[in-house]
Every structure is written in structure tokens, then in C-alpha cells.
Structure 1
Amino acid sequence: MRPIPLSLLAAAALASQLVGVLAQSSSQTDDTGTIINASPASSDSDTQTDRTTSTASASSSNSLALTGTATTTESANFESPVYSPTSQIRVTTRSSSTTNTDTSSSTGSGSSTSSSSNTNSNTHSNSTVTTSSGRTTTQTITTITGGDSSTSTRTTGSATSSTSTGPVPSNTVPCNNYPEFCSRQYSNITQICAHNSYFSVKNNAASNQDYDMHTQLDDGIRMIQGETQLVNGTMYGCHTSCDLLNAGTYASILSQVANWVESHPYDVVTILVGNSDYEKGVTAKDYVQPFEESGLMPYLYEPEYVPQRRNQWPTLGEMILSGKRVVAFIDYNANQTAVPWLLDEYTHFWSTPFSPTDPDFPCSLQLPLHLDNETAKEEFMYIANHNLNVRFNLGGYNILIPDTYHIQRTNGKYDQFGQLGAMTGNCSEIWNAPPNFLVVDYYNRGDPKPGSVFEVAAKANNVTYNRQCCGNGNGGDGSTGTLSATMSMLVCTVAFSLLLYFVSS
């Protein structure tokens, strides 16, 4: 069978943009366990008496209840979480069945007291700080998580500081939007992936998302995924062909993620590289340059084990404290010896069928090949592809496009046919754990309302979703009929182009 000529794809791309312009006019766009004494940035007094005591308690539906010292520090300029080499991370016993949750129960108590010659006082309560002084410039930072009981005494000159701590309470600062996640392993959380994340080009019917990546991340997307192609020595983010949809250089795409990560120090983001040119010999080494140019290198996580099994992953709190908050995977031609921070997807994840066209969404293992179910269940994380497609046969060519007509149902939260809620529940029952990533198109659309995909993930994680979605409060484009018509027009355009091609040849 003859390949589709690039000129034909270019014609289809042009037609796609023209159709998009028509559609645009009728569519609507619907947040160390070591106690660190707080000190003011400046003060008019030379002698001071300072006493700081903080206590807090927290409980959640995951049966984790801790009482102890809530730790805060103060800094004039906050850039990143405080890291202490003596920090110890509390990891509770984990149990994954049909929800991602911590099931252990523990209690503790503690306090922190320090004194010196001082006339200024600070009071900490429930991880907040109130400062009273003549002239002070401060900003409160709440630490991520804490360590075991310890007591230390330090004497400097005539001042003596004594600190006694017990187990630190549940965090008040969220990790990936939920305080509960700080003590959970990376491999024990369900998160949402925006399928073909950076293919959100306006007026292009080949797009899979309504919003740009910055907005996606703001809304709660935590996996960025998409195809890449190497063209004349430069890596690009292209959908099927760079003539059809080109989102720009991959370095520029990654730099958008780097900018967001830099300004969100309590979040862990995952990147899944789609190596479309793997059969042409493109390998992990070819991605080093765009990652280096993007500014992501300081954040990239390198696993302790190769491969790293499901129970060997750190908690989000540990990753945040270390500063290594970006996990990058590549689907084909990984080389973790040469590029240790670009992980092999299929030695860490298995996945359900790609580009699904069956609205029943069977939760069966497709890749990697020859992986047995028991090993997959015990040692691998997994990805559930829940982006419904429609298949067209045009002149012998199979073309898949997103089924936007049924997108509300597909992204729905209920346990009903075709809905994301039903697939997640089904997968959880079959594999004794919910998926780690749910891959969706147009994440902002759903049933009963925008953000339903995040409600599904929250239920799997045994937490409550109470954020506003999506796109800074704008519910997103609900005009599925118009977009479906746009897709149909694109298909007709491609079909007509193919007909002309075959007639003339």
C-alpha cells in the first residue's frame, strides 16, 4: 500500500485549519521533620526573648491520624521547600486494593520550645505563624513532612535552645493538590494524563485538548504526553506528521513544563515521550539536547533501581524534598545506562489498548508483549487509555480521530457504560489496584460537569476533589456537536484529496 504523500497531508492540514476557523465562530469556550526556629528578617530590638510552641492534629478518610508538632519556617524570599539532611520521611503501611490509600493508624504528640534573651514573640498554631515585632519582613513556609521522635540541645554563648519533637502531623501543604499524597508512594496514586497534551493548537481539528499545557497543569493534569519526530536534526512535537500538526520544537514544549514546575515547588510532574521515529533509529540519546535546553535537568528524577518496581518508589514528599520532581519516561528505545533520567516506559508500566474504539474500554494488558498478568499486577504500575476514537476507512487508509460527540460520556464519573468512572472501577477490581494514570482527551469536558475526570481520580485515591475546573474557572468548550461536525468536514476533505490523488495517479 502506498504511503500518503506529504503534500496530501499538508493539504489536509490546511483544510483542517480552514475548517477550524469555521467551527470557532459557532463554538463556546466552557498547592523535615526537624524543628527550625523562626526568626524575623529584621528587628529594631537587640535583645529578645523568644518562645515558640506549635501543635496540630489532622485526620482523613484514609485512616491516617497523627497529632504532633507542625513545623514552619520563615524566610523573606520563598523559592523552594526546606531540606535538611537529617530529615526523616514517615511512610505508613500501604495497601492498594480498589483505592490508592494509606491504611495504617498511628498517633503521636510533641512540642517545640526555644528561648533566648529577647523581647519579641512568635506564636505558631496549626501550621500558621503570627509575628509581632517592631519591624519584620517574613513569609511562612510549611514543611512537607517529618521524622521520628528526637530531642536535641544546643548552647551558643549565653543562649540555650532545646527541641523535643514527636511524630509530625498530616501535612497542611498539598503535594499534587492533596496533603494526603505527601506520604504516599509515587506508585500508589492515580493521576490524570492529558492525551497528546501539547496538541491544543487552535483552529486545528487534529488537536486533542482545548487548553495549553500551563492551564492543564494548573487544573490538575500531572502527566504530559505526546508524539515527537526528529526532522533535520531537531526534535519536534508533531501529530502523525509535522505537516498535519506541529506544536513546535520539543525543547520549547518542555520549557513550558519547566517554567510551571519552577513556580510550583510542591508538585511532581510526569512526562511521557512518544518516540514516533523509533523505527528510524531515534533513541533516548536524541532527547538529551531538548531536555537540556528546556531547563528541566535540575528537576529530573533518577531511580535507585533499574528497573524500579512498584513497591520501590519514593513518596511524593521525598521527591519534593530532594528537588527531583519530574519523572520522564520514553516508550521506545530507552537507554537508562546512557540516559538514566529517561526511564523505559515498558519496564515500569503496562498499558491497556491504545487508541481505543470500543466504548466498553476493556481493562486488558496490551503492552509490553509477553508480560504475564501476575508480574504485571505485583511489580508494574499501569496506564489506562480512556480516549475514545472513531475509525474511518478512506481509500484503504485507516484514520482515527477523537470521538468528541461522546466526550462527555467518555469522561463521565459514573459507573455507567463507556464512562471513565466505570473503567476505573473495573480495572481496580481486575488488577487489585486502580490505574496510575488515566489518559483522556479534552479533560475539561465531562459528566455531570467539567472536572469529572479529576473526581474519578480522587475517588480512586480515597480523597475529595473540591477544586474548580477548568481553564481558570471557564468550564471549557461544551460544543461537542460542532467539533464533531468539524472532524467530519476534515474527514471529507481528506477523502476528497485522496480521491483526487488516486484518480490522477
Structure 2
Amino acid sequence: MLFAFLWFSSLAAAQSVITITGTLTGADALPTGSEVSYASAFSTITASSSSRTGVISGISSSFGEANSTGSVSPSSTNSVTLLVGGGSTTLSNNMTASSTTTSAKPTNTQPCNGYPEFCTRKYSNITEVCAHNSPFSVKKNAASNQALDVTTQLNDGIRMLQGQAHYVNGTLYFCHTSCDLLNAGTVQAYLEKVADWVHDNPYDVVTILIGNADYAMTNSEGVKNITAETYVEPIQNSGLTPYIYYPPKIPMRLEDWPTLGEMIVTQKRVVIFMDYNANQTAVPYILDEFSQMWETPYSPTNISFPCDVQRPPNLSRNSSLDWLYIANHNLNTEVAIGSFSLLIPNVVDLNVTNGLNGTGSLGLMSNECTADWGRPPNFLLVDYYNIGSFNGSVFAVAAEANNVTYNGKCCGTSSFATQSFGGPPIITLSVAFLAAITWMI
């Protein structure tokens, strides 16, 4: 399959203007299932931006190669230093910001994603916890993957949000396999909550991974229509637009990513990926996951949790070493309903699955992946992140991978008691749905 990327200019009037030029070629597509294909080889496309400025939470800034300058209008009694690029931005009691380039490196006092050390680290050099199927926190529904809503997830330290979206009657919903099984509401409503949180937390970088579940859906003329373009309207309407990160090249490799501090000062601190049908020529800010990030086997039903590359298939080891990667660590159990079987989250073993040590633990998988690949996973994907061997154990695993001291900030107030997991799973399934479904991710 040949992919041709011609130059394009995009973005709404409120956004920076980005022009991308180049040619992208790939070998034959590698089918891995119905309607699924991946590009196996890529050339680099570079992008140049005519503007990288903006305002967020009262901070006005412009970003240079090594230093940043800016001014801040709100009053404050705090004085913080945010390291950016080759210099730093200092916010004093009078809230004026200035750029410094001294031989003595200043000490950063402002946490980025919870830790001051992260401000000078590249986005690609940090391990974050990912809430698997973040929107699916519907109480008394066995198909849920989380106990707490997205705002609480972000407050607790989740920095990657993953969800499975379906297109129903012209609207995108976050639904688990089918909207008859679990419907968590519209994509736009969910993203509005994320946008509100991002607005209120100016020193945090958030990643969103969209599972485009209906990527193979076709219209009446047999043309695929569930693509990245379908998601533009709910994303723009949600209020996320001012914060979205636009990559300077396609595809992004580990060294291409900016530091968190750079993303914060330029306020472009929401990174969006999509698994299937991303089209960065049409929508440059929805990044094609499987040309820039790989995943370990997902939806496992055993506790081995291998660190092998599953998606995209046939990715060489040399390429894998230069891509972001996700360690999928959500353990499922099979439930039989008549002649049908479903995979649902294994909530019984969460104290081990989300723990630091032992067979099947998140800590063990993180350490094994680090040993296998010479660097920790970028994202640790888990169910029910707030349950583990102790309160916040998944974040302690991430802190160990990042070589920082866990800050102990976890977790929300909901528990298994409020989810009613003590008895049989409570789930409502329509006859039509049972007739159609044989598995669930």
C-alpha cells in the first residue's frame, strides 16, 4: 500500500499555522484481522510552525530554541522556577516571568505531572499510568474498567486516558464493545470534563488514546467514514483545542519529543493518539498510534504479561527501540452466558495485578519490560487503578520506573463497596446484543 503525503496547511484560526511537506511510502499493508492494516515503513516528514504562542491560565508565553519568556498577570504569593529547554522561567512573588541562562543550573520548584524532575525530561522519557477504558466507570456494570470518574482519575495522577468509541446515529459515544452493553455517554461530554481539568491544571501534560472501534464501518456507498475527521467536531466543541499538541514531524521518534516544561510553557500539553484510521494529513493533531507507538499483548487472561510487541505486527526490534510503547496490564476473566462467552475485568486479583511485587504484578511487568527493552514503558495500562496491594500502588510502580520518590498522592474515595462487586456481576444485555457478541476487549 502506498501512502502519499502532499503538503498541507491546517488548523483553525485560533491555532498556529503548520505546513508539512514530504513523501511517505510504505510496503504492502500487513493485515492482522478484518479491515486492519498497518504501514510497515516510513520516511520522515518535517513540519514548521509560524507561531508557537498562546495563553493559558493567565500565562502568556513564547517558546524559543533554548529559553522562554513570558509574563503572568494573576497575583500569587508563591515563587516557582520552571525549567524549560536550555534555560528556565522564574515566577516571583510579583508574578513576572523572565528567561535565564546562567552557568549554575537553577533548581526547579514547580512540579510537572506531579514531579519537578519531569519538567526537563522529554515526554518520551517518562512513565505514566494509563486508565484503561477511562470513561467506563458505570456502577454495577461488570463491563466497567474503572471505579472513579475521569476528573478523579486526573486528580489522582492518571496522565493517559484510553477509551473505546463507537459511532451511533451520527454521534460518537464511549461504549464497551456495544452501546447495548455499556454506554458511558458522548465523546464530547467526556472530553469537556478533560478540558475543564486541563484548564485548571496548567502544569500538567495529558495523553488521550482513542480506540476507534468502528474504524471499519462503511456508509451506504461502501466508503469507510469513521476516520479521524469524524472526531474533529467533538474535540473542538469540548474546549480542548487551545491545548492540543501538534507534532513537528511525522512520525515522531523518542528524540523528537519536547520536554514537559516546553509543552507547558507553549501550553500545547494534550497529546491525542488514535489506533485506527488516523490521518495526519487531514487532522495533524490526532497522531497515528501504530506508526509511533507500539503495544504489548492486550486483553490478557493469564498472568504472564509478556513484553513482546503485538501491535503493530512485524515491527523490527530496532524500530521498537525508538518508539513509545504501552505495557498492557489489564487482567480479564472469561464469563459464560449460555452459549456465549465474554471477557470482563478480573477484579478479584487486583491487589496482585496492580501491585508492586510478585507473579502477575504491575511492578514485575514494568521491571521485565525495562530489562527487555533497555528502558521502562511509557505508559502502564491498568484497570481499577485505585485498587492494588496498597493505596496508590500503580503510581508507586510508575515512580520506581521514573527513578523518583512516589509522592503518595492517591486515591479517590470510591471503592469496591460502592461498585457492588461482592456479588455476581450485574449487567443488562439485550437479546439482539447476545445474538451478536462473542467476545469483549
Assess same fold via TM > 0.5: yes
Q: Do the aligned partners of 1:225 and 1:271 also contact (CA within 8 Å) in 2?
A: yes
Query: Cα offset for 1:390?
Result: 0.6
Match of 2:326 in 1: 383
CA deviations 1:78-122 (Å, max 9, x no partner) are 9244525557259xxxxxxxxxxxxxxxxxxxxxxxxxxxxxxxx
Q: How many residues align?
A: 357
Match of 1:244 in 2: 181
For 2:299 and 2:411, the matched residues in 1 are separated by 25
Match of 2:268 in 1: 324
Question: Which of 181, 190, 201 in structure 2 is aligned with 1:264?
Answer: 201
Question: Which of 197, 206, 213 in structure 2 is aligned with 1:276?
Answer: 213
Query: Cα offset for 1:481?
Result: 11
Query: Cα offset for 1:204?
Result: 2.2
For 1:460 and 1:232, the matched residues in 2 are separated by 43
Question: Which of 144, 154, 158 in structure 2 is aligned with 1:217?
Answer: 154
**3-state secondary structure, aligned to 1:144:** strand
Match of 1:438 in 2: 380
Within-5 A mapping of 1:459-474:
459-471=400-412, 474=413
Match of 1:230 in 2: 167
CA deviations 1:344-386 (Å, max 9, x no partner) are 0111111011111111211111000121122102x21100110
Which stretch of the first structure deviates more once superposed, 477-486 or 399-408? 477-486
The one-letter code of the counterpart of 2:406 is Y
For 2:409 and 2:333, the matched residues in 1 are separated by 30
Match of 1:350 in 2: 294
The one-letter code of the counterpart of 1:391 is E
**3-state secondary structure, aligned to 1:145:** strand
For 1:224 and 1:440, the matched residues in 2 are separated by 11
For 1:85 and 1:401, the matched residues in 2 are separated by 46
Query: Cα offset for 1:420?
Result: 0.5
Q: Do the aligned partners of 1:146 and 1:167 also contact (CA within 8 Å) in 2?
A: no
Query: Cα offset for 1:276?
Result: 0.6
Question: Which of 61, 64, 83 in structure 2 is aligned with 1:83?
Answer: 61
For 1:407 and 1:164, the matched residues in 2 are separated by 48
In structure 1, the gaps of 5 or more residues are 1-76, 91-135, 151-162, 500-505
Match of 1:310 in 2: 254
Q: Do the aligned partners of 1:80 and 1:265 also contact (CA within 8 Å) in 2?
A: no
**3-state secondary structure, aligned to 2:216:** helix
For 1:485 and 1:410, the matched residues in 2 are separated by 20
**3-state secondary structure, aligned to 2:250:** coil
Query: Cα offset for 1:242?
Result: 1.1
Q: Which structure ranks higher in relative contact order (CA pairs < 8 Å, sequence separation ≥ 6)?
A: 1
Query: Cα offset for 1:139?
Result: 4.1
For 2:332 and 2:280, the matched residues in 1 are separated by 33
- Higher radius of gyration, 1 or 2: 1
Q: Do the aligned partners of 1:299 and 1:323 also contact (CA within 8 Å) in 2?
A: yes
Q: Do the aligned partners of 2:147 and 2:419 also contact (CA within 8 Å) in 1?
A: no
TM-score, normalisation: structure 1: 0.66
Match of 1:208 in 2: 145
Provide closer, same or farther for how the CA distance between residues 337 and 81 of structure 1 changes in structure 2, counting only shifts above 3 A.
Answer: same
CA deviations 1:26-74 (Å, max 9, x no partner) are xxxxxxxxxxxxxxxxxxxxxxxxxxxxxxxxxxxxxxxxxxxxxxxxx
Query: Cα offset for 1:429?
Result: 0.5
Provide closer, same or farther for how the CA distance between residues 465 and 266 of structure 1 changes in structure 2, counting only shifts above 3 A.
Answer: same
Q: Do the aligned partners of 1:420 and 1:456 also contact (CA within 8 Å) in 2?
A: yes
Query: Cα offset for 1:391?
Result: 1.7
Provide closer, same or farther for how the CA distance between residues 200 and 441 of structure 1 changes in structure 2, counting only shifts above 3 A.
Answer: same
Query: Cα offset for 1:138?
Result: 4.9
Match of 2:398 in 1: 457
Q: Do the aligned partners of 1:411 and 1:443 also contact (CA within 8 Å) in 2?
A: yes
**3-state secondary structure, aligned to 1:278:** coil
Q: Do the aligned partners of 1:145 and 1:168 also contact (CA within 8 Å) in 2?
A: no
CA deviations 1:250-284 (Å, max 9, x no partner) are 11110100000000000000000010100112100
For 1:481 and 1:86, the matched residues in 2 are separated by 49
For 1:484 and 1:328, the matched residues in 2 are separated by 36
TM-score, normalisation: structure 2: 0.75
CA deviations 1:289-325 (Å, max 9, x no partner) are 0001100011110111100111111000010011100
CA deviations 1:199-232 (Å, max 9, x no partner) are 1122322211111000000000001111111111
Whether 1:374 aligns to 2:311 is: no
For 2:327 and 2:268, the matched residues in 1 are separated by 25
Q: Do the aligned partners of 2:140 and 2:427 also contact (CA within 8 Å) in 1?
A: no
Question: Which of 390, 397, 406 in structure 1 is aligned with 2:349?
Answer: 406
For 1:494 and 1:371, the matched residues in 2 are separated by 40
Provide closer, same or farther for how the CA distance between residues 164 and 339 of structure 1 changes in structure 2, counting only shifts above 3 A.
Answer: closer
**Identity among equivalent pairs (%):** 52
**3-state secondary structure, aligned to 1:483:** coil
The one-letter code of the counterpart of 2:208 is I
Q: Do the aligned partners of 1:78 and 1:139 also contact (CA within 8 Å) in 2?
A: no
Q: Do the aligned partners of 2:140 and 2:421 also contact (CA within 8 Å) in 1?
A: no
Note the aligned Cα RMSD (angstroms).
2.8
